[in-house]
Amino acid sequence: MFAMMIEPTLRKLGYQVRTLAGGPATAVQVAAWKPEILFVNLASSRCDGSAMVKALRAEAALAATPIIGYAGHVERQHFQAGREAGATLVVPNSAMRKALPAVLEKLRNRLAGDQSEWPEDDD
């Protein structure tokens, strides 16, 4: 989903995009890139998304980097797990597909102190 739908939108918005499948060295690789924002698929079949968020947060260079976690709106267990792991914002896949600029605006608001959540059942 990321490469097909999210990456082109981010590029159009002026972001440089790099993608990685999760794995033991991912957090170290990502830290070397010094990203502005991280996106983590919390329901990935390749890795435990929440564990990935924790690993990213454990890297000193990424501790303050915003992380947007996403999962299907029916996969509610991933929403809470992502938040508990340290994701800055958790949104449903549909928001990533249909409203990425609004998700980025919500992230900016979150960083400015707004603690409201994106609706989990937004589809």
In a domain, 10, yes or no: no
In a domain, 104, yes or no: yes
In a domain, 84, yes or no: yes
In a domain, 92, yes or no: yes
Query: What is the model's pLDDT at position 122?
Result: 58
Of residues 121 and 84, the one with the higher pLDDT is 84
In a domain, 57, yes or no: yes
Number of domains in the chain: 1
In a domain, 83, yes or no: yes
Using CA atoms of 104, 92, 32, 86 in order, give the dihedral in degrees to the nearest 10. 100
For the entire predicted model, the pTM comes to 0.89
In a domain, 96, yes or no: yes
Q: Structural domain of residue 74, as residue ranges?
A: 44-117
Query: What is the model's pLDDT at position 54?
Result: 94
Neighbours of 38 (CB within 10 A): 20
In a domain, 28, yes or no: no
pLDDT digits (tens, 9 = 90+) for 80-104: 999 999 999 999 988 988 899 999 9
pLDDT digits (tens, 9 = 90+) for 18-50: 887 776 678 888 888 889 999 999 998 888 999
Q: What SS3 class is residue 24?
A: coil
Instruction: Provide long-range contacts, Cβ within 8 A and 24+ apart, for 79-86.
Output: 79/42, 79/120, 81/42, 81/49, 81/50, 82/40, 82/42, 82/49, 82/50, 82/53, 84/50, 85/50, 85/51, 85/53, 85/54, 85/57, 86/53, 86/54, 86/56, 86/57
